[in-house]
């Protein structure tokens, strides 16, 4: 505060370091420039302190911190660890096998490389032998799996129930893919029905058109082998795109990984429950599958042997052909 008396003097230390005793500024004295340091000290205000957390007891802060960390750990486990937990266990030598099923098998392709069938013949899955092997055969209307013929023959030679599947690629018409599969795969009585692997719908194709393409393949192949093909797909894909009643009569092979039990609520015959199993005779990982039923039920699903009438028709055809050949020779 300035002195009230006009004749009073004040002492201020200026930037030159000297004390200047001068009259009151009302008499027209012009003060030298104050140092910035002095101005700061004269004008600086005490920082405002935040008191939000000071209102709470210290133990509530600790409790809140622990709760936040716990929530973070739970969310990380639920969204990232739990969905693939069984896969991690399988990769590190602790596989998980769903309980309540006895008939087990595998599916293979060229990704498994060259298989030692002698070792695989004696392999066990959770105490149960490998009963069936489903083998990739074709894809699209040009591709044949490079190991199909060898795997398909050796699976039968080693006493496995065998099957063959086609991967549906809608870059070409389903009709041509069906006839391509038939031309490359010679299924016999005692084999599993043909399998159609359906996993993707083109973005530019309507659901109705997509379903018609799938049905086209199924009908052509069913007409050839006189047995309903098996449809392989993911359970969410089935609910989204194949829930039409026209697909209800087909056996389903559902892929649903790393869970204790099947979440698909419809009828299913096979369950592919992991893609990270290890078995003797196979280098790398292999898919494991479960059949939903007894071994007797599985045998009933296989392609049946021709009936007596069908055998007679085949014999008549052969006889007619032989007679025609004889007549031509004469």
DSSP bridge partners of 230:
195
User: CA-to-CA distance for 193 and 227, rounded, in angstroms?
Assistant: 6
Verify whether residue 188 is a known catalytic residue. no
User: CA-to-CA distance for 228 and 172, rounded, in angstroms?
Assistant: 23
224 half-sphere exposure, CB direction, 13 A CA radius: 21
Alpha carbon 60 to chain centroid distance? 42
Q: Which two tokens stand for residue 280?
A: 């003797």
No. of helices (H) and no. of strands (E), the chain: 10, 12
Residue 45 DSSP code? -
Q: What is the SS3 assignment for 105?
A: strand
- Of 146, 199, 263, 310, the active-site residue reads 199
User: CA-to-CA distance for 281 and 158, rounded, in angstroms?
Assistant: 13
Q: Which two tokens stand for residue 184?
A: 């490359």
Beta strands in 218-269 (DSSP E): 230-234, 252-255
Q: Indicate which residues carry an active-site annotation.
A: 199
């Amino acid at each position: 505060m300035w002195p009230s008396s006009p004749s009073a003097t004040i002492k201020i230390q200026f930037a030159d370091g000297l004390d200047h005793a001068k009259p009151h500024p009302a008499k027209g004295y012009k003060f030298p420039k104050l140092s910035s340091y002095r101005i700061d000290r004269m004008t600086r205000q005490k920082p405002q302190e935040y008191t939000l957390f000071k209102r709470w007891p210290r133990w509530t802060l600790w409790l809140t911190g622990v709760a936040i960390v716990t929530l973070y750990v739970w969310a990380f486990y639920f969204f990232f660890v739990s969905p693939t937990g069984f896969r991690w266990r399988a990769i590190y030598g602790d596989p998980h096998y769903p309980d309540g099923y006895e008939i087990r098998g595998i599916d293979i392709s060229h990704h498994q490389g060259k298989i030692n069938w002698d070792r695989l013949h004696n392999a066990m899955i959770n105490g149960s032998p490998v009963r069936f092997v489903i083998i990739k055969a074709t894809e699209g209307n040009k591709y044949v799996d490079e190991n199909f013929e060898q795997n398909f023959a050796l699976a039968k030679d080693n006493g496995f129930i065998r099957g063959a599947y086609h991967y549906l690629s809608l870059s070409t018409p389903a009709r041509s893919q069906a006839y391509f599969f038939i031309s490359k795969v010679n299924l016999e009585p005692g084999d599993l029905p043909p399998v159609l692997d359906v996993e993707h719908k083109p973005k530019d194709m309507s659901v109705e058109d997509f379903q018609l393409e799938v049905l086209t393949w199924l009908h052509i192949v069913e007409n050839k082998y006189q047995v309903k093909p098996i449809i392989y797909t993911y359970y969410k894909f089935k609910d989204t795109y194949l829930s039409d009643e026209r697909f209800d009569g087909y056996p389903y092979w559902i892929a649903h990984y790393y869970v204790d039990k099947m979440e698909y609520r419809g009828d299913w015959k096979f369950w592919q429950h992991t893609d990270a199993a290890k078995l003797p005779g196979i280098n790398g990982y292999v898919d494991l599958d479960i059949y939903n039923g007894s071994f007797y039920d599985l045998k009933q699903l296989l392609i049946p042997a021709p009936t007596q009438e069908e055998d007679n028709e085949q014999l008549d055809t052969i006889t007619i052909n032989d007679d025609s050949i004889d007549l031509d020779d004469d």
